[in-house]
Structure 1
Amino acid sequence: MGLDVHARSVAAVSIDGVPGELLQARLSPDHDHIRSWIRQLPSPVAVTYEAGPTGFGLARILNADGIRCVVAAPSKLQRPAGDRVKTDAKDAVHPARLLRLDEVTGVVVPSVEQEAARDLVRAREDCRGDLMRARHRLSKLLLRHGIVYNGGQA
């Protein structure tokens, strides 16, 4: 099955193995809601969704439940030429079909500690960038008013 995961909703598409029948649903982003919907499907179930800003919590929960979950690298998903219409349902069907063909390139799901460290590093880099932009804005404002600081480090 394929998921198109967003902060407020999840589009889910399941492909039945034998007849190839599509089963679509609009789910809440609550992990328990997603798990309960997946449990209703005939076994075995494999799930895929694109890596994104929602993180890897869903993949960790599904893998811990014994449900194979592959987090797909968005840059590695092959898109058909000329396929420019984007809907949540189409974005869920495409990775589901690729997973069925075993054509999904997965990313490594980091541990909770690794993801927290990455978040901390990203937050620090953002703060440093904000500080540098503020310093440059202030120095250019002062320069436009003829104030130049020459006493060492700014």
Structure 2
Amino acid sequence: MSLTDVIEGTRQAVKSDPHNAAVSFSVANALVPGTATVVDVRVRNHSLTVDEPPALGGTDTAANPVEYALAALGSCQVVTYQFWAARLGIPLTAVRVTVDGDLDLHGFFGFSHATRPGFGDVRVSVALEGPAAADRYEELRRAVDEHCPVLDLFRNETPVSTKLA
């Protein structure tokens, strides 16, 4: 099934019932017993590991949470570029995305309450290849910037609630 088939099928499903546009995702996280920083993550039928580098008290068995956040942004960009290239009819032969982020540990460790614990700056670099004119790829970049779900998370405040179970 092509991406244009997926887009059209989704369009028809949402057109017939707007409730079909609402989707939910869930991820379960648990500290691996006997470790200080290793987390087992379950996503549908998939699993991954999260850890910290030794400088942050971990054993460096996996990427850390903020690296996964950058990976989520980069991979969502790649997927969104593919979808929007198909939707706009822009030929695309390759997409490469690099994401860099700067974090000040003053906030995470509570050394300064004036410093955010999250990223202070995130930079996304996108390399596109294909036979279209440069203005078409700029049109594609604007569409992706407008519609990428994870980019939206980074750019806009999202309501989040936490509670103890």
Normalised TM-score (structure 1): 0.25
Q: Please say which structure displays the higher CA radius of gyration.
A: 1
Higher relative contact order (CA 8 A, sep 6+): 1
Bigger proportion of residues as strand: 2
